[in-house]
């Protein structure tokens, strides 16, 4: 496999008995980092979650093992403690364990929880950051998270907090000029209502982006008050992000990516 060995810098050695918590990027497999690709080529076993382009698994060694441990809202999914126990067990067997996650492992991806468990078990680990859907995925939908005079800050919000719903402190988070909501499809009506109650205009520009940076990408522009209606009218399904704020207005000029036009490159 030519390429990675000819780089003008060294990529880290994947030590037996260690775990690499690795981000796979938002969808387009070409957005994988060099370190992630290097890790996939050297791993003895890959433990991956549900939001992944299956072609990424074609990058692993032919003798490597692959285990799917998807966590997916609504479906029966393994408990987080089972996943961390498996990572620790495999590392203690002396394997090179690559834990592959969608986007970035430290953005609503349970990467911190897994790293803390590895640290507590004294299993050596590396974090391989990935491009989060909340930035790179939105870029494929022509939505910058910051732009010139549009906004001086943005906030990442989970729609699936510790209690399974919107976070308690949404009123404070609502002050950020741009909000990017992960896992928010289930609570759109409540989200809009609480943001308007916190002082935002119901007419504010908002967008829904489903399956960003994949051949199935769909983008719906709407207004804050109409998020739930728009998602239902377009039958949007997870994974999807919600964006609220002035950057949404830039999309008309920045809508650069059309998966169908790429001649199968991303199909």
Which of these segments, 75-83, 132-140, 197-205, 247-255, binds ligand SAH (CB under 6 A)? 132-140
Using the CB atoms, write b or e for 149-172: b if 16+ within 10 Å. Answer: ebbeebbbbbbbeeeeebeeebee
Q: Distance between CA atoms of 249 and 139, rounded to whole angstroms?
A: 14
The residue within the footprint of ligand SAH, chosen from 31, 100, 207, 241 (CB under 6 A), is 241
Looking at 33-41, 81-89, 107-115, 224-232, which segment touches ligand SAH (CB under 6 A)?
107-115
Q: Cβ distance 192 to 228 under 8 Å?
A: yes
Phi, psi (degrees; rounded to nearest 5) at 22: -120, 135
Q: Write out the binding residues for ligand SAH, residues 30-69 only, by CB under 6 A.
A: 51
Comparing CA positions, the residue from 134, 197, 191, 198 lying closest to residue 167 is 191
Any contact of residue 104 with ligand SAH (CB under 6 A)?
yes
Scanning residues 136 to 175, which ones bind ligand SAH (CB under 6 A)? 137
| 183 catalytically annotated | yes
Give the nearest distance from C-beta 24 to ligand SAH in angstroms: 9
Catalytic residue among 28, 44, 49, 53, which?
49
User: Residue from 238, 246, 255, 257 that binds ligand SAH (CB under 6 A)?
Assistant: 238
**Placement of tokens 């393994």 in the chain:** 78
Quote the tokens at residue 209: 């982006």
- The residue (of 109 and 259) whose beta carbon lies closer to ligand SAH is 109
Tell me, yes or no, if 49 is annotated catalytic.
yes
**Residue 211 binds ligand SAH (CB under 6 A):** yes
Q: Which residue is nearest to ligand SAH (CB)?
A: 103
Check if the beta carbon of residue 204 is closer than 8 Å to that of residue 179: no
What φ, ψ does residue 207 adopt, rounded to 5°? -140, 150
By CB under 6 A, tell whether 266 contacts ligand SAH.
Answer: no
**Residue 125 interacts with ligand SAH (CB under 6 A): yes or no:** no
Length of the chain: 267
Task: Output the six-digit token pair for 16.
Answer: 């037996």
* Residues classed as catalytic: 49, 71, 183
Q: Which residues bind ligand SAH (CB under 6 A)?
A: 26-27, 51, 101-104, 107-109, 132-134, 137, 182-183, 209-214, 238-241
């Amino acid at each position: 496999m030519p390429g990675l060995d000819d780089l003008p810098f060294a990529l880290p050695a994947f030590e037996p008995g260690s775990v690499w918590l690795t981000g796979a990027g938002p969808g387009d497999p070409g957005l994988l980092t060099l370190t992630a690709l290097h890790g996939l080529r050297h791993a003895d076993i890959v433990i991956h979650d549900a939001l992944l382009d299956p072609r990424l698994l074609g990058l692993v060694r032919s003798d490597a093992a692959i285990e799917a441990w998807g966590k997916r809202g609504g479906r029966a999914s393994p408990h987080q403690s089972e996943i961390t126990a498996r990572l620790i067990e495999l590392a203690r067997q002396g394997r090179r364990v690559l834990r592959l996650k969608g986007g970035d492992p430290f953005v609503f991806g349970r990467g911190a929880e897994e790293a803390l468990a590895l640290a507590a078990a004294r299993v050596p680990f590396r974090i391989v950051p990935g491009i989060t859907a909340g930035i790179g995925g939105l870029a494929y939908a022509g939505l910058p998270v910051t732009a010139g005079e549009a906004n001086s800050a943005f906030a990442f919000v989970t729609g699936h907090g510790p209690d399974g719903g919107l976070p308690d402190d949404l009123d404070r988070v609502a002050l950020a000029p741009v909000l990017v909501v992960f896992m928010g499809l289930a609570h759109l009506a409540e989200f809009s209502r609480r943001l308007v109650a916190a002082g935002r205009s119901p007419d504010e520009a908002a967008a829904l982006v489903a399956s960003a940076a994949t051949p199935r990408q769909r983008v719906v522009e709407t207004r804050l008050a109409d998020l739930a209606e728009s998602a239902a009218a377009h039958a949007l399904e997870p994974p999807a992000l919600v964006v609220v704020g002035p950057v949404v207005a830039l999309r008309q000029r920045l809508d650069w990516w059309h998966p169908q036009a790429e001649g199968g490159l991303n199909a």
